[in-house]
Amino acid sequence: MELLEAVKKEDFAKAVAMQGYVQGFCDYIYGRPIGDYRARCKVALVPMGLLTPEQTYIRPPYRSLWDVEKEAARQVVEAAGLLAVATR
């Protein structure tokens, strides 16, 4: 939202500065295999404080990635400055 707001206000320096955070998060969510993006998105929402680990369930044929992705997701969320965003 902040990135879009900066563009709307024509604060392109701020928007460009934020691009690294946004791109790193997108690279993680939409990484390979692309079909797992739903599961990675749910895992990333846990360190943001928006879901619990139990809510990362994915219906078959996809599988939950909580056990294998939780640390990678935490690192990406932290790098984007979004840790526990729900509690702010």
Q: pLDDT tens string for the chain (88 positions)? A: 888 899 999 999 999 998 888 899 999 999 999 999 999 999 999 999 999 999 999 988 888 899 999 999 999 999 988 888 766 6
The domain segmentation of the chain, as residue ranges, is 2-87
* CA angle 28–29–35, rounded 5-degree value: 120
Q: What is the pTM of this model?
A: 0.80
Spell out the residues 6+ positions from residue 80 whose beta carbon is closer than 8 angstroms to its own: 21, 22, 24, 25
Distance of CA 21 to the CA centre of its chain: 10
CB 68 within 8 A of CB 33: no
- C-alpha to C-alpha distance for 26 and 23, rounded to whole angstroms: 5
- C-alpha to C-alpha distance for 7 and 17, rounded to whole angstroms: 12
